[in-house]
Structure 1
Amino acid sequence: MRQIPQLELADCRAIVIAAQAEADRRAAVVSLAVVDSGGHPLLVERRDGASPASVEAALAKARMAALNGKPTEAMEAAINGQRPALMQLSGAMGEPSLAMAGGLPLLHQGVCLGAVGVSGMTPDVDGAIAAAGAAALP
């Protein structure tokens, strides 16, 4: 039997605090989401001025990254390139999911614990904020 580590609330808070700092540095108005390995929300923040739609998009990006264990930016690039069939993947998820830049899996010893998703700015800015959050995983 395997033992699988799980994200705790303290981990999620550390991830969001690091992402907040990067968002502040970039004067970015975004929403942030941290989900578990099943794509279920653990911590969501809609920053002042962020659109309601950005909350849903952040959750959907995080869900896609968690359930696939891959950055959503790579999936978006594949869809825009040689793998347009990947667009069908979101329909198979059962919950809203997006293959758009801004979702990063949270990996620990090769195991996907969940993901962080960011939405509200350009793909590069969302991705940088998500990366700052992911880097804070203890």
Structure 2
Amino acid sequence: HKLETISTAYLLVESGKLTSAHFMSDSFPIPRDKPEIAGAFAMAAEIFGIKMVYLEAGSGALECVPKDMVQMVSRSVDMPVVVGGGIRNPEKAHELATAGASFIVTGNFFEKNGNSNKLEEFAKAVHFRQTEGVTV
């Protein structure tokens, strides 16, 4: 089984607390109120041939990546935008997907709640473009 390697620009975003991602990378996150910094990094990554950008608030983040930052990045580059960290409900997942996120990463919600009943709600919230007007 061959897995394709996808070069990814991994951008840590301020989330309201020190997360494992921030600690392990020993880096300063992009301030939440500076979407233009994320946009500039994403554009530079695209110029260097990177194929995807990941906006990461960190596992268990208090706050997810701001909607305006997702919009800025998705409008600045022509590549998939992944958003993860601090996404605790389908409504927030939908908001971020509507803002331009190509992929939503959520894990703690399901790990901590042990509740897979919400999985369908999350899926519909993110895949709304494919399910509008269709009974799923």
TM-score (ref. length: structure 2)? 0.30
TM-score (ref. length: structure 1)? 0.30
Higher relative contact order (CA 8 A, sep 6+): 1
More strand by share: 1
Report the structure number with the largest CA radius of gyration.
2
